[in-house]
Amino acid sequence: MPEGPEIKRAADQIAKAITHRPTTAVFFAFPHLKLYEAILQNRTVTAVQSRGKALLIRFDNQLSIYSHNQLYGKWMIRSAHDYPQTTRQLRLAIHNAKKSALLYSASDIDVLDDIAIAHHPFLCKLGPDLLDNTTTVEQVVERFTDPTFRRRGLAALLLNQQFLCGLGNYLRSEVLFVARVSPRLRPLDCALSQIRQLAEAAIAVTRQSYQSKGITNDLQLAAQLKQQGYPRREYRHFVFGRQGKPCYRCSTPIVKDILAGRRLYFCPHCQGNESIR
């Protein structure tokens, strides 16, 4: 599933293609949205915004298209009405005179006004967005120490969009590694210094992934490994997907485990800490 950085990069690409230009046509695959095709035709897209793993395309008539890629959704930007050869099903298309923004395979799509956005069952419950520049380390520390969340295991908590939005499975492993915190702890088990490390890592790793097109490893090390001919899967992450391979910090083999129903990777030496309260 695309995580916050991938959705925000998609939003950037969509915005470049279709904002500030009137639409020439809009297509919805779902019958209950067909009536909006005429309503949104010849309207101007004013903004494209990511909200964690969700996306809002705003129009000048105070309506917005909401979408969530879920597991299989994929945006493609093409020249106007130039459809790719694919077995995916087209769910949404927004065309203007020069470009088409095409969403394939997604099933969670709707058209909302501002009131509906404020009360949307997914959007209204999202935690702070780690890619929002107004989100601070102090705010994230408060989430970790909030009574609602502090007794929950970190492995599950970092996948909870109501806790912090934008994190997903690869970011979960990388944030825990950068913070040097065991995935088996709860916030309650952590010292305040560990909580701050987690908050700083959650913001830094997520924003680096957005800025570097998915690289969460040390950028200098990643550049060196790339220059040496290593494939992207080898230098992209510190630990995610690297089961049995040496930790870049201490050379201990990386361990893969299933926690909160998803695969998680960690270094048993760098993250071998128990509670230090």
SS3 letters across 140-151: HHHHHHCCCCCC
Predicted local confidence at residue 1, as pLDDT: 67
| Contact yes or no for 27/104 (Cβ under 8 A) | no
125 catalytic, yes or no? no
Catalytic annotation present for 262: yes
Helix (H), strand (E) at residue 275 = none
CA separation (Å) from 87 to 83, 84, 219? Answer: 12, 9, 36
Neighbour count for residue 49 (Cβ, 10 Å): 15
The one catalytic residue in 2, 128, 183, 187 is 2
Residue whose pair of structure tokens reads 């010292």 in the numeric block: 191
What is the pTM for the complete model shown? 0.92
What confidence score (pLDDT) does residue 274 get? Answer: 57
Q: Catalytic residue, from 3, 51, 58, 143: name it.
A: 3
**Is 213 among the catalytic positions?**
no
Instruction: Report the Cα–Cα distance between both ends of the chain, in Å, rounded.
Output: 35
Nearest residue to 84 (alpha-carbon basis) of 94, 71, 75:
75
Two tokens at 57?
């395309």
Among the listed residues 152, 180, 184, 262, the single catalytic one is 262
**What local confidence, expressed as pLDDT, does residue 189 receive?**
97
Q: Closest Cα partner for 145 from 183, 177, 184, 193?
A: 193
Catalytic residue among 51, 53, 58, 91: 53
Q: What is the pLDDT of residue 272?
A: 86
pLDDT in tens, the chain (277 residues): 689 999 999 999 999 999 999 999 999 999 999 999 999 999 999 999 999 989 999 999 999 999 998 888 999 999 999 999 999 999 999 999 999 999 999 999 999 999 999 999 999 999 999 999 999 999 999 999 999 999 999 999 999 999 999 999 999 999 999 999 999 999 999 999 999 999 999 999 999 999 999 999 999 999 999 999 999 999 999 999 999 999 999 999 999 999 999 999 999 999 986 544 4
- Two tokens, residue 241: 């997907």
Whole-Å CA distances, 176 to 153, 222, 228:
12, 19, 27
Spatial distance between the Cα atoms of 125 and 111, rounded to a whole number of angstroms: 18
Homologous superfamily (CATH) for 4-125: MutM-like, N-terminal (3.20.190.10)
Rounded Cα–Cα distance for residues 269 and 182 (Å)? 10
Q: What share of residues in the chain are helix, strand, coil (percent, to 5)?
A: 35, 25, 45
Q: Which residues pair with 100 in a beta bridge?
A: 78, 95
* Whole-number pLDDT of residue 249: 96
Query: Residue 277's pLDDT is what?
Result: 46
Domain ranges of the chain: 4-125, 137-266
Residues 128-178: pLDDT tens digits?
999 999 999 999 999 999 999 999 999 999 999 999 999 999 999 999 999
Q: Are 135 and 118 in contact (CB under 8 A)?
A: no
Say yes or no: do domains 4-125 and 137-266 share a fold.
Answer: no
Assigned CATH topology for domain 137-266: Helicase, Ruva Protein; domain 3 (1.10.8)
Q: What is the pLDDT of residue 70?
A: 86
- CA gap 140, 137 in Å, rounded: 5
Find the length of the chain: 277
